[in-house]
Structure 1
Amino acid sequence: MADILDSTIYDTPEHAQLREQIARFIAREVEPHASAWEEAGCVPREVLRKMGDAGLFGLMYEPDYGGAGADAMTNLVFAEALSQSTFGGFIITALVHTDMASPHLHHAGTPQQKARYLPGVIRGDTITAVGISEPGAGSDVAGLRTTARLETGSDGEHWVLNGTKMFITNGVHANLYFIAARTGSARHAVSMFIVEKGTPGFTVGRALKKTGWLSSDTAELILDNVRIPAENLLGERDRGFQAVMKNFQTERIALAAMAVGHATQALRMTLDYVRQRQAFGATLFDKQTVRQRLAMLDAKTRAARQYLYHCAWLVTQQRDVVQDVSLLKALTGELVNEVLQTCQQFHGGMGYMRETPIERLWRDARVLAIGGGATEVMLDEAAKRYG
């Protein structure tokens, strides 16, 4: 059976050390406690600070701010190793911070913005969220309706933001938000802004209840005449759409790693279970249809993992990865649901019981074909790039 810790041709000794470090952290700090986090609806911030103290929140960021200056391959190893956890809500809380929100600051921030915010982000003192999705605009970033208007007053220039953001992971408890808003009439005239928690007019409309990822806090955000200094523009004005599209590749690789991790864990658990479970005078593993089905799913998962690493390698080579990453996201989002449905089925009634890892993984896997780019959107993105 495929093992998430199996080496790849891309591995270095440092990658092995990182995997071992994260495995120890998960075993000590996450798995024994995370059932309570599911009930509470969030990951305790002290756990995230421990991850920052361990150097896990700044792998790709500049050493000047406390980061490690590592590459996309190391970042993938981090995401995949983190996905050894059976608690998807914990995983996505961390990955939104490292791979989906704070990269906007890393890629587009001015030296002054980075100096102000990145050290806290890397330490885990400042947890980040990214506000792109809206009630009527998810994957269609150009369709968002939140607006930002530049005004000049006696106290200088300020941006005034108005709108609503929906399905925002870390939205309830984040300290720092990167918000996409329309700044012009052209379809792609979108800009990114830095908004701190507690800014007047910026509120959590409501915490959202989800089917899975129960230990991640998810929110609707309201921006009601939110005034922020002109220098809180992140990157170039009207170029936020391009920034979001660029960062989507990092995000989707991380989500694909999460899918492969869930599939690998489910197959491992199910293999152990069917070897022990007796039915009609033999173990389930003695049934040809059961073991062959698991073998086929293992083959698909191993193949998906190799594609995952290839895509990360392409990033390190500065190649255009939009088509490959779109295909990867579609493939892994569907595969993890196929794997989890089968593995849950082979667990029988126990697979439908709350608080069992296989049931939790089944719930958490569903969103991986939706969030970060639904399967249909990803396939269309790839198809439009065929020559």
Structure 2
Amino acid sequence: MIRLGIIGAGAVAHFHAASAARISNVELAAVCDLRDEAAQRVASPWGASVYGDYRAMFREAGLHAVIINTPHALHLEMVVAAADHGLHVLVEKPMATTIADCDRMIRACDEAGVALVIGQIQHFLPEKLAAEEVLASGELGRVLMIRDYRTTDYRPGSRPDWFFSEAMAGGGALMNIGGHCLDRSIWFGGAAVGSLNASTLNRFGVPVETDGAIALTLRNGVHVSISVVSDAAQRVDEVLVVCEHGTISCSPHNGTLVRSNGATRTVWEPQPEDIQQGFFLQLQDFVTVLDGGTPKVSVDHARHIVEVVLASYEAATSGNPVVLNASRDATNTARILSEVP
């Protein structure tokens, strides 16, 4: 039996807890949050213990693994502490707020001999899995271009205060919501990012970016455009994949649709349980890793997403394109072009 702990009783903690209840060899043993009432709400349906100090939970709860669901800048210290206690770790995206922190997390878990998996939930959502299946079939040929558009809300009071702290969140809409767009676009595009340009907006008087656009070229030549817009007139969350012989539109609101030869077919219709199913599949994947399997999402992929977000901020500030090096050297991950050819 895998005794599982959760740190952070925020918005997605209930999804993690309910997922654990569906897996026969997993027991939710403990939940930790500075807010006792929030921790109780997540823990009580499953009879889990409640802690206000994650280090005490690590010492006392007899855990085998932990899910870290906390503000982004806290991931490093909690992952390192978990590794020191011999605990396997599933940490929510973004992996960290700097490449140096990502590398320290990887090193700590490698040295401790524990698993480190990053919760890139896009890879487990049913509508995205349906798109993956169509792409893998080859019926539409090669991916040529991707457009990803997602709305959000970064007005004051729209979310917990820590999201508006660059030090704690690592950025604003691009680090948070844009990370999801980058994750699925790089995944569907089939290669790492080679170069990019970006712009950001700071609206509503908040200290982090509220909107952003990134234009990317993947190393295989696929072109990707990503737009994240706050407080838009309509709620949109769509990735459109343009292939040689057709297109795929993928959205949690409208499902997954394939257009080819002048005809459209639906390969996935949205279901009320889709988000919960995604978290279940993600936890199931984590358990498979603990049994010696390979994670669906590599740590290198999750690290690359952080790298690309940070490079986007650099491009937006400088006004120049950025070329990403293939090297994993944390001190030389991006080169600013001094002039555009």
**TM-score computed with the length of structure 1 as normaliser:** 0.28
* Larger-Rg structure: 1
TM-score normalised over the length of structure 2 = 0.31
